[in-house]
Homo-oligomer: A and B are copies of this chain.
């Protein structure tokens, strides 16, 4: 089942737009490598939360796995805007912020193939015990901000 835009709250998204921002070339490796992302979402009461996530990158969209049962998912159903920050583990003074919007949410397949693929990308293969509530969240980047040594070195805005 594709819920897609049904998760997007009225007036809080430009999700009818499908144009994605382009990542600055200097920092594209941070999306291509299996680096950890810190995902910021906004809770229904307006306060932020932040947590560490795996992600996949296909050149235009980020995808993450999640379950339908947890707070981050509820937050994004209420307000699909999010930000991810990703620091280079080899040089944490080099980082990339991705601002974006949750574009769609789909159930993972019966084998949790997306989740299994993410496990493989991050070098941790194990059994998926919650396949029935696993979803694939697709994020459309709206802006990238590349940072080195505390200063912004490149941005991208569509």
Give Cα A91 to B47, complex, Å.
28
| CB-CB under 8 A for A50 and B92, given A38-B38, A42-B42 | no
Among A47-70, those with CB < 8 Å from B are 47-52
Q: Is the CB of A49 within 8 A of B99?
A: yes
Q: Is A120 an interface residue (CB 8 A)?
A: no
Q: Is A155 an interface residue (CB 8 A)?
A: no
Copies in the complex: 2
Q: Which residue of B lies closest to A79 (CB)?
A: B46
What is the CB-to-nearest-CB distance from A17 to chain B, in angstroms, rounded to a whole number?
Answer: 15
Interface majority SS on A: helix, strand, loop or mixed? strand
| A41 interface residue per 8 A CB criterion | yes
User: A40 in the interface, Cβ–Cβ < 8 Å?
Assistant: yes
Contacting residues, chain B, for A48 (C-beta < 8 A): 40-42, 48, 81-83
Indicate if A138 sits at the interface (CB-CB under 8 A): no
Contact with B along A83-108 (1 / 0, CB 8 A): 11101010010010101000000000
Q: Is the CB of A50 within 8 A of B84?
A: yes
List chain A positions with a Cβ less than 8 A from chain B. Answer: 12, 36, 38-42, 46-52, 79, 81-85, 87, 89, 92, 95, 97, 99, 147
